Amino acid sequence: MIGVILKDGQLPIVEEFFELFKTPWEVYARGRAYDVVVSTHDDGSLPQARLLIIFGGRNTGSDVPLGLAAGTRRQGGTVDTHAESLPIYGELLTFIPQSGQAVCLSATEGIVGIRIRRPGFTAIRIGYDLFEEVRSLLSAGQPVEHAGVPALDLHVEMLRNWIVGADIPVVEIPPVPAGHDFSVCLTHDIDFVGIRDHKLDHSMWGFLYRATVGSARNFLRGRLTMARLLKTWRAALSLPFVYLGWAKDFWEPFSWYLAAEAQLPATYYMIPVKRRAGDRVPGKGARRRATAYDVTDVREWTARLLDTGCEVGVHGIDAWHDAVKGREEMGRVAGVTGGSALGIRMHWLLQNAETPAVLEEAGYSYDSTAGYNETIGYRNGTSQVFRPLGARTLLELPMHIQDGALFYPQRLDLAEPEAAARCRELIDRSAKLGGVLTVLWHDRSHGPERFWGDFYLGLIATLKSTGAWFATASQVVGWFRRRRAVRFRQVDTTNGVGIAIEYDGDEIRPALRLRVHRPSPVSNGESFASTTTDIMWDGRAPLLLDSAFRWVPDGAAFPRVQAAAI
């Protein structure tokens, strides 16, 4: 059990952090023994614990009794986690190591982590406030230049490593479904259902320009093959016949995606009200946000999508700032799908600090707007479903890979090999960290003039080769919601203090993994390795972890997986 000493106002942040790092913890209680104490509010005392970790970007009262010498203080910086560079967004304090002190974390600005070992006691002093970093990530998010860093997940990983490195076992429920390394959520924002709806408007003229001048430019840049160039020109020439109904509408998305995804579940976000641009739309071109279709125009396709195991959610217009309009938009889609608890992704990814509370008031189950238009990566620094600040029940499904961000000239403008490499980085991180990888491919990205369909097929094939769990957005969010519902409780047993693991809800499928990290010291006395042992648990019966980190009394009935040393 970790005891947490926190500043005023940090409790919601701490609670959410320990839903992501799903391990036993409680607010620190004086007089209770803890293996680990984590503190961001230091009054100068040294709580009794095998491991004390003190976070803070300013000098604390404990620095003097620990013999720490402070260096410089600045706003922000970059620390070296050995895996990759981790941006720090708040205050960052450096230290000058003294005799008998070991460096455990470095930054470009200097030493920001010191380890002090004494008989039966280890103290670690870190020069930033962990929970204020979490607050920043869950609210403001990360700037584009740090989009590729899963910062929040790295904070979890470092804390776990420091605990195991102090020779203390850790039990946790990682964000990984049993039998899989991570989850994949394929999603589609449906802004267009056919070019036939667009006659002499900006969408039609824009297509003709891109299909002629734009495609020729892309051909000369090496971004378009001759075969694709000719297909684009043929599509442009066929436009009158499409309007007459004599040729196939090359912007119709549903049949292509159903074939491309070959029975994989996907989530389609549908426009609730056509010809509505929405209020409070920033920037130029706000009128272009209005669409020529809404969900009532595609009832047959919607029914077919639901029949094949896909999900239909709301592609919101004004729900991001107006709960009344949010309920109206949800009602429009629910009236077609027959659903009740729907999810949403905002059109153009519009949101502000109040959006989570507004969407929750409107009755949405989850949101999937947290992502970038300009790049790919981790807007809030995590691959996990999380509860955004300002919400109580609404969960956020982060979005990581978007087609337009990869290929639009005004964005990353990548060639396909470069885009594949960038996506591979995120896939590899997902296999390491768990969580969910959410992919957004738009309605007409498979057709002329974009031709991003072949890349998408390759991306799906790569994802299928990983053994990931493919699920709809609601299914992924539901799995994380059940994981969040698991509770740890400290109990007395015949051989010491144990941890009861309890859950009151529907059977968890895929099952959770319960993981124990066991330290194993290596020769130099400072570095530690660990082994992990997993058991699979579907929540149907409570479990007990005894003081020796053994599952009792019926843990023997569960299959065990002995992982390699890490």
* Sign (positive or negative) of CA dihedral 499, 500, 506, 510: positive
- Per-residue model confidence as pLDDT tens for the chain (566 residues): 999 999 999 999 999 999 999 999 999 998 888 999 999 987 777 888 999 999 999 988 888 888 899 999 999 999 998 778 999 999 999 999 998 899 999 998 899 999 999 888 999 999 999 999 999 999 999 999 999 999 999 999 999 999 999 999 999 999 999 999 999 999 999 999 998 898 888 888 888 888 888 888 888 888 888 888 888 888 888 889 888 999 898 889 999 999 999 989 999 999 999 999 999 999 888 889 999 999 999 999 999 999 999 999 999 999 999 999 999 999 999 999 998 779 999 999 999 999 999 999 999 999 999 999 999 999 999 999 999 998 999 999 999 999 999 999 999 999 999 999 999 999 999 999 999 999 999 999 998 888 999 999 999 999 999 989 999 999 999 999 999 999 999 887 777 788 899 999 999 999 999 999 988 766 344 555 678 889 999 999 888 888 778 877 544 444 444 443 33
Amino acid 525: pLDDT: 44
Contacts with 123 (C-beta within 8 Å, 6 or more apart), sequence order: 46, 51, 52, 53, 54, 62, 66, 115, 116
Query: Angle at CA 547, nearest 5°, toward 546 and 548?
Result: 90
| pLDDT recorded at residue 526 | 52
Residue 455 to residues 128, 153, 445, Cα–Cα distance (Å): 41, 28, 10
Which has the closest alpha carbon to 368: 389, 392, 390, 342?
A: 342
- Residue-level pLDDT at 202: 85
**Which tokens belong to 302?**
């919607």
pLDDT of residue 553: 56
Q: Do the beta carbons of residue 449 and residue 211 sit within 8 Å?
A: yes
Q: Say what the pLDDT of residue 231 is.
A: 85
Name the phi and psi angles at 440, rounded to 5: -115, 120
Structure tokens of 156?
């979890």
Residue 426 CA to residue 154 CA, distance in Å, equals 14
**Domains in the chain with CATH codes:** 2-168 (3.40.50.880), 183-194+251-479 (3.20.20.370), 199-243 (no CATH), 487-521+534-562 (no CATH)
Sign of CA dihedral 47, 50, 54, 55: negative
Length of the chain: 566
